[in-house]
């Protein structure tokens, strides 16, 4: 199934101005509700928050029902899926599936937050809270846009499915089976996702790509227990040192990933797209200053945005070994572990990257330790199939809400489930986010631009109208 054209003419809907007036009138209540949503610590990675995560799902379910959708909380082997549906536009009208996630990343280190992560607060035009941008705040904009149509008129101009999962931040382990089992029920003409940022303040964007992900752990095991480094150091190979050698071998002197075959499947982007990326209004020096470092990483022949959006990367996300407490302890640790993630671009495949990584680690590991690579989670890189009515509708909606036409941009982060949605449901995905660069997603002091609560709801309300 593709995007259905021509569109059925909608009749009998109240004018957009009633819907937009409802948004203006309801803004204070919408904001109060977003605060309530953000107060529940739905940290999917931590089992001591399982009850909170379920409470968040139930809270969202109640708000979908209040908005006028039929909704249910669906159990999975992990955190529940919340599904809302409104089919009142009829068979001739298009069906839009909105996807978002109500789970959040852990807030730690909590001491670095200027206000508590689960006590939302406005400061200087920003809404600070864990999940404000990623993704509870953005998901909720869709709920309110739907509510505006359902309460201020006779219904939505499109049939709507809102699917919210509670496991995006842990790799969506239960979503693909759910999509596959329910593909008839979830059949749609477009998938709309707001889990990303605008290109710049006042400048919305539509995403043309996301990087994929291959996330693994390298485990290095040495002696059967920690040893005195004086009594054993020298003849016994130190697992922390062995791990350091392995990690160092992942890059060459220019910072390129030095794993045999790694770049074989990396496609060069066409000149037109590369030019359009370089022509975006983006100041690399300002960007570097904003993050307090330089941009000395690999592949300097590419612009920073080209590197972030069109080139792969490898990062160590954490290292664990030995003694790291106060003072000195002369220990030769028995084990070492590193978490390593690869950001992937078309046409790389995470499974092949895991295989190459395993072969590489086995090749470079020094004698005297055993090594193993464990896969944690992965996702395919995504390129948009944006065209026709869907692109036009989104463009018009964003112009109406923001007074600016969206630019086309890529994204270095990953939303692994996007490819699965397109594959299983056979519909194109539209990625339109309302957060801003530097919103501290996954970091202390996450924020969402206050004015985009209103503008985002308005844009989405316009979008449904434009898609009619
Ligand atoms: N919302 C993000 C994706 C994102 C990140 C969009 C940065 C725009 C800017 C999403 O929730 C996320 O965090 N994805 C993870 C992957 C996931 C499997 C944990 C990521 O990119 O690390
Ligand atoms: Zn995230």
Claim to verify: residue 137 and residue 203 sit in the same structural domain:
yes
DSSP helix, strand, coil percent of the chain (3-state; round to 5): 35, 25, 40
Token pair 């106060």 in the structure block, residue: 326
Residue predicted with more confidence, 420 or 5: 420
Buried b (16+ CB within 10 A) or exposed e, 316-347: eeebebbeeeeeeeebbbbbbbbbbbbbbbbe
- Hey, how many other C-beta atoms are within 10 angstroms of the C-beta on 51? 10
Q: In this structure, are 163 and 279 located in the same domain?
A: no
User: Can you tell me which residue has the tokens 């610590």?
Assistant: 41
Judgement on whether residues 262 and 295 belong to the same structural domain of the protein: no
- Does the residue 354 lie in any domain? yes
Tens of pLDDT, residue by residue over 159-169, are 999 999 999 99
Q: Is the pLDDT of residue 369 over 60?
A: yes
Whether 73 is in a domain gets the answer yes
pTM of the prediction? 0.92
Boundary residue ending a domain (328, 352, 378)? 378
Q: Are residues 329 and 422 located together in one domain of the fold?
A: no
pLDDT of 154 reads 75
Same domain (yes/no): 88, 180: yes
Return the pLDDT at 24: 97
**Residue 372 pLDDT greater than 60, yes or no:** yes
Residue 305 CA to ligand 1 center (angstroms) comes to 17
Domain extent, residue 222, equals 212-266+312-378
Cβ atoms within 10 A of the Cβ of 406, count?
A: 21
CATH of the domain at 418: 3.40.630.10
pLDDT tens track for 207-227: 999 999 999 999 999 999 999
Of 378, 407, 424, the residue that ends a domain is 378
Ligand nearest 341 Cα, by number?
1
Q: What DSSP string runs through 273-338? A: HHHHHHTSS--HHHHHHHTTS----S-TTS-HHHHHHHS-EEEEEEEEES--SSS---EE-SEEEE
Please report, rounded to a whole number, the percentage of residues in the chain having pLDDT higher than 70.
97
407 occurs within a structural domain: yes
DSSP symbols for 138-199: HHHHHHHHHHHHHHHSSS-SSEEEEEEES-GGGT-TTHHHHHHHTTTTT--SEEEE--SB-S
- Examine residue 39 and state whether it is found in any structural domain, yes or no: yes
Name the residue at shortest CA distance from atom 19 of ligand 1.
Answer: 169
Residues 161 and 262 in one domain: no
Q: Residues 54, 41: contact at Cβ < 8 Å? A: no
Task: Report the nearest-CA residue for atom 16 of ligand 1.
Answer: 414
Nearest ligand to the C-alpha atom of residue 172: 1
Q: Note whether residue 460 is domain-resident.
A: yes
pLDDT at 7: 36
Q: Whose CA is nearest to atom 10 of ligand 1?
A: 415
**pLDDT tens-digit series, residues 266-275:** 999 999 999 9
Instruction: Clarify whether residues 138 and 181 are in a common domain.
Output: yes
Q: Which ligand is nearest to the CA of 435?
A: 1
Calculate the alpha carbon distances from 366 to 221, 258, 276, 376, 466 in Å.
11, 17, 46, 24, 61
CATH of the domain at 370: 3.30.70.360
Average pLDDT, the chain: 95
**Is residue 418 assigned to a domain?**
yes
Q: Rounded to whole angstroms, how far apart are CA atoms 104 and 114?
A: 18
pLDDT one-digit tens code per residue, 52-104: 999 999 999 999 999 999 999 999 999 999 999 999 999 999 999 999 999 99
Among residues 378, 410, 436, the one where a domain terminates is: 378
Q: Is the pLDDT of residue 13 over 50?
A: no
Residue 408 domain flag: yes
Residues 451 and 324 in one domain: no
Residues 428 and 442 in one domain: yes
In this structure, the answer to whether residues 243 and 123 fall within a common structural domain is no
Classify 246 as helix, strand or coil. Answer: helix
Closest CA to 461 of 139, 186, 9, 156: 156
Q: Does 172 have pLDDT greater than 90?
A: yes
Closest atom of ligand 1 relative to the 215 alpha carbon: 18
Identify the residues whose C-beta falls under 6 Å from ligand 1.
134-135, 168-169, 171, 195-197, 213, 377, 411, 413-416, 441
The residue contributing the CA closest to ligand 1 atom 8 is: 196
How many structural domains compose the chain? 3
Tokens linked to 278: 């370089």
Query: Ligand 1 centre and the CA of 96: distance in Å?
Result: 22
Note whether 450 and 350 are same-domain residues. no
How far apart, in whole angstroms, are the C-alpha atoms of residue 322 and residue 307?
Answer: 35
Helix (H, G, I), strand (E, B) or coil at 61: helix
Task: Give the number of the atom of ligand 1 that is nearest the alpha carbon of residue 377.
Answer: 18
233 is a domain residue: yes
Residues 391 and 244 in one domain: no
């Amino acid at each position: 199934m593709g995007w259905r054209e021509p569109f059925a003419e909608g009749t009998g809907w109240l004018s957009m101005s009633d819907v937009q007036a409802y948004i203006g009138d309801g803004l204070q209540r919408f904001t109060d509700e977003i605060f309530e949503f953000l107060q529940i610590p739905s940290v999917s990675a931590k089992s001591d928050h399982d009850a909170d995560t379920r409470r968040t799902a139930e809270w969202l379910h109640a708000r979908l029902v209040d908005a006028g959708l039929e909704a249910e909380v669906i159990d999975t082997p992990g955190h529940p899926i919340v599904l809302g549906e409104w089919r009142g536009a009829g068979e001739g009208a298009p069906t839009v599936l909105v996807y978002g996630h109500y789970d959040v990343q852990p807030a730690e280190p909590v001491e670095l937050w200027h206000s508590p992560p689960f006590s939302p607060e406005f400061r200087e035009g920003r809404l600070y809270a864990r999940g404000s941008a990623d993704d509870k705040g953005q998901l909720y904009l869709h709920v309110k846009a739907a509510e505006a149509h359902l309460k201020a008129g006779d219904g939505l101009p499109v049939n709507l499915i809102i699917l919210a999962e509670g496991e995006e931040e842990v790799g969506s382990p239960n979503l693909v089976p759910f999509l596959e089992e329910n593909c008839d029920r979830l059949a749609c003409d477009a998938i709309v996702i707001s889990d990303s940022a605008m290109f710049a303040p006042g400048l919305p964007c539509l995403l043309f790509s996301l990087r994929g992900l291959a996330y693994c752990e390298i485990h290095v095991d040495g002696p059967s227990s920690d040893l005195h480094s004086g009594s054993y150091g020298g003849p016994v190979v130190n697992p922390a040192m062995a791990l350091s050698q392995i990690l160092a071998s992942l890059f060459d002197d220019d910072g390129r990933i030095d794993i045999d075959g790694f770049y074989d499947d990396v496609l060069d982007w066409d000149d037109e797209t590369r030019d359009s990326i370089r022509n975006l209004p983006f100041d690399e020096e300002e960007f570097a200053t904003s993050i307090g470092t330089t941009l000395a990483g690999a592949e300097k022949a590419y612009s920073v945005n080209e590197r972030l959006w069109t080139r792969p990367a490898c990062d160590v996300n954490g290292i664990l070994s030995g003694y790291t407490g106060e003072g000195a302890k002369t220990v030769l640790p028995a084990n070492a572990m590193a978490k390593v993630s690869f950001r992937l671009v078309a046409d790389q495949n995470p499974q092949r990257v895991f295989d190459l990584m395993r072969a590489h680690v086995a090749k470079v590991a020094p004698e005297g330790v055993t090594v193993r690579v464990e896969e944690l989670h992965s996702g395919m890189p995504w390129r948009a199939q944006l065209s026709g009515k869907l692109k036009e509708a989104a463009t018009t909606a964003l112009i109406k809400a923001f007074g600016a036409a969206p630019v086309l941009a890529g994204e270095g982060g990953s939303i692994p489930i996007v490819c699965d949605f397109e594959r299983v449901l056979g519909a194109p995905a539209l990625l339109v986010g309302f957060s801003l660069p530097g919103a501290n997603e996954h970091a202390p002091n996450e924020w969402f631009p206050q004015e985009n609560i209103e503008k985002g709801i308005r844009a989405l309300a316009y979008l449904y109208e434009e898609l009619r």
